[in-house]
Amino acid sequence: MVRFRMEGVRLDQAVAEACGVSRSRAQEWIAEGRVQVGEKVVEKPSYRLKGEEVLVVPPEEKPFVAPQDLAIPVLYEDEDLLVLNKPAGLLTHPAPGVYTGTVVNALLGRYFPLQEAERPEEVRPGIVHRLDKDTSGVLVVAKHGGALEALARAFRDRLVMKRYLAITEGHPKEGTLIAPIGRHPVERHKMHVGGIAPRYAETEFRILATAGPYALVEARPHTGRTHQIRVHLKYLRAPILGDELYGRPSPH
């Protein structure tokens, strides 16, 4: 929404200048009734302003997920599967406000035709699972519909063994933790044991080594809840070292 005042200027020229768009785009908005002059819709592009307040309501632009040439190491590839080594700091999927620099952009750029969706964050070519932005590790990608269906079924039926390594601040209790996870009741960008609409979550933990207050932990999630390992480790009072969302910043 843009508000401004001008005098002695054509309406289409004023809208184009105030909104940083072409004259033809401004004329389209005026014809669509998106421009008010003095609280009244004016559909005449040649109307000459007399200092009234002009209100412009531009249409909502749909973000675009563009193909990009991003260097992501390939661990394995055949006619059905692509196995990537996702580095830390890289989002798997686009998210609201972040539509570049993700694994999806790389897949669109090198392996898949461009896909469109009402919500760009729903463009997920061949991906059936994901890794958090700051987590590095293996991503398996299907290269066609049959492989995608088979992979999705394997993940759904828990036929895929997932193993993660983390350095924790504190020593978590070993064994299998069953603690449902839902949305945090106050901080909606976080998950929480219990929380809102909790879902069954199960993770198996094993301590591989310790050094003072720190531990090298193997985590095997048997379900796939958002932030599951991070939330469960916080619940066990041993958050991942340097996890600023569920732990604290690290001097290391």
Catalytic one among 132, 134, 157, 243?
132
Task: Write the CA distances from 135 to 21, 35, 105, 131, integer angstroms.
Answer: 40, 47, 18, 6
CA 3 to CA 129: how far, in whole Å? Answer: 44
Task: Write the CA distances from 84 to 73, 138, 147, 173, integer angstroms.
Answer: 6, 6, 16, 32
**How many residues are present in the chain?**
252
Strand order in the sheet with 191-193: 191-193, 181-183, 196-199
CB 94 within 8 A of CB 121: yes
Per DSSP, 15 falls in state H
With CA atoms as reference, report the closest residue to 107 among 150, 77, 149, 152.
77
- Does 69 participate in catalysis according to the annotation? no
CB 164 within 8 A of CB 221: yes
Residues tagged active-site = 132
